[in-house]
Structure 1
């Protein structure tokens, strides 16, 4: 089916990067062009996080589509990071590459992602936030830049900036369930109930469209929303039951969503 689309030169695949301890099942994701045609013009570029997307976009008719074929990556688990000293290596290589190409969007995104995965959310936000203005309309991972930027702002205490990024991200990507859920969690933290509920109600029919990553605390937020259903007068019984089940399943499993 994918090969039959002759006008498509490559595909972005959802990569699931497991982080922390293996037993926790926590992960973040991004979209990476790792499936492409056997064409001598398409080559990997970059010192680190090598990517082929830029060589496809350099073609006059270059087109990259999205394929829902998740790839599980375990290289960011704590044991692997300690064994390879991977974080220090990655940051050194990215900074060195940026000295030669400071305007590179993939390198800036890679730098922000490294800090994000380290939990250094303030630094990650400072790196990622400017990319929202400089990135092309859709470099394949534009939605993920919005998600990571908003969550990094939220986690570093910059709630108003985070809400502005969520709002613009949801305008551009209304079916991106992670943005809906993360925004709902932020509003819940502020004591709001109705708007988080409506955001989660919107994401239910969108869940099959695109669910990319899991953020620490998301499950707890959903459980809290489910527990608060009785205080929201506008809930219809079917929606309330579905939301309660979602919260109960989260409490029982404590794991991230799978794509």
Structure 2
């Protein structure tokens, strides 16, 4: 008889997201258990429409207690845990069944992609135990950021947690969800109560730092992150994140030196955590210290994406790091480096347009289109659709000679729908000025360069708030891709 899987969820007013979650999970599991903690919208009706068994539970400011209500009622051999703002990847059913057939593991890590924008594939990536054996002794612990592993290990200290290829997509940070002050206040209330029970607990201190950072108070967040990492006696993944988030807070407060120093302290303790090298490199580049920036970024590239269970972001140690090295080469007028790193970024992520746009615009401004054409023919092997995309981007970036040459060699007609930066409206004129100015900006001193970038970024960000014209969208997108220091992947 095949192993049965029970999905267990806790929800409250999740009518906008729960259907997507259940639609992805229903084919993969044998039972849907939903614990509702007081919904006043259509959450319960939607859940029942998908065949879920819904239980009501009073909310007690305790996530573990609410999750355990569902575990107590699950009848499957295995438990899968999801939140309403998550969904399983399309291939999850097969991967789940393969995992539960293996009797050597008590639970499995799944890979969670936390998306920040509805228009981008950029995500923070981490692993979490979301699939585990159903046992009355396996219960969640912790009123907030609850954990299942402690109870499993207490029952069996030799329990094995396996890795898996199961992917969960999390959309809870998209849009206004993360800005919900009530959630921050709720989390802080729970954390304060937990810290009164266990003063100095590094995990609770770390999570309090996260909440202060979300609340826009980096000066308070820094104190909690420093306390968390100094009190932690183990090298748990959250300790590495404490260093990273502390560095982010210093950068948010405008102190690049302390941001880099926090990364250096973290590197001493976690020498394989690529993210610390990557961000130290970006901030050294921002400060105009090219050699230091190159050292950090090349170290990040050599390390590659950090191993599990470190939390990272898509592209760090891979195409994003190469993209940053390409920008650094632009600033140093290193034509060979520009070609090498931007093409390597595209090799690692063939769908990425920002490296190609930066490369094309740089070579056009530097009057190196002959070298660009030769490099594309030698190192770039796109399919038919990819060739058309390259031709379109070349024309959009002003590389008309290269586009004509490659069009003849590849035997492809050039598209008539390539977006142009027209000058018949104020936005187009402003965008054109930015595009023509960016190449000169890298020659300025660091303080002037920062002022120019901040001014241009404000213009672009303002345009992004309310862009209705498709042409204006193309203009804004192109400006973002070509701005120095602004990550074109965002």
Q: Shared topology, TM-score over 0.5?
A: yes
Alpha-carbon distance between aligned partners in 1 of 2:152 and 2:355, rounded to the nearest angstrom = 45
Counterpart residue number, 1:48: 144
Q: Does 1:111 align with 2:208?
A: yes
Secondary structure of the equivalent of 2:272? coil
1:229 matched to which residue of 2?
Answer: 329
Matched, 1:248 2:346: no
Q: Secondary structure at the match of 1:32?
A: strand
TM-score by length of 2: 0.43
Give deviations 1:119-160, integer Å, cap 9, x for gaps.
432222111112112223322333222222222223223444
State yes or no: 1:34 paired with 2:130: yes
After alignment, is 134-143 or 184-193 more displaced? 134-143
- The yes-or-no answer on 1:169 pairing with 2:266 is yes
TM-score in terms of structure 1 length:
0.73
The Cα of 1:175 is off from its aligned counterpart by 3.4
Query: How has the CA–CA distance of structure 1 residues 145 and 29 changed in structure 2, closer, same or farther, with 3 Å as cutoff?
Result: farther
- 1:16 aligned residue: 113
Structure scoring higher RCO (CA < 8 A, sep ≥ 6) equals 1
Offset at residue 25 of structure 1 (A)? 5.9
Gaps spanning 5+ residues in structure 1: where? Answer: none
Whole-Å separation in 1 of the counterparts to 2:213 and 2:167: 21
Q: State the distance in 1 between where 2:288 and 2:206 align.
A: 32
SS in 2 for 1:147: helix
Deviations for 1:2-37, whole angstroms, at most 9, x for unmatched residues? 67593x654554433334x53466654554333434
- After superposition, give the CA deviation of every residue in 1:52-106 in whole Å (9 maximum; x if it has no partner): 2333454544565665654322223343356793223222222233222333333
Helix, strand or coil for the counterpart of 2:250? helix
Q: Counterpart in 2 of 1:155?
A: 252
Q: Residue 182 of structure 1: CA displacement?
A: 0.7
Q: Aligned partners of 2:265 and 2:165: how far apart in 1? A: 24
CA distance in 1, matches of 2:191, 2:211: 9
Provide the C-alpha distance between the structure 1 equivalents of 2:222 and 2:165, rounded to a whole number of angstroms. 28
**Cα–Cα, structure 1 residues 126 and 180, in superposed 2: closer, same or farther, change >3 Å?**
same
**Quick check: 1:189 aligned with 2:278?**
no
- Report the RMSD for the aligned CA atoms in angstroms: 3.9
Structure 2: distance between partners of 1:178 and 1:121:
20
Between the aligned partners of 2:188 and 2:227, the Cα distance in structure 1 is 19
Instruction: Identify which of 168, 173, 179 aligns with 1:76.
Output: 173
**Alignment length, in residue pairs?**
249
Shift in alpha-carbon separation, 1:14–1:129, aligned structure 2, 3 A: farther
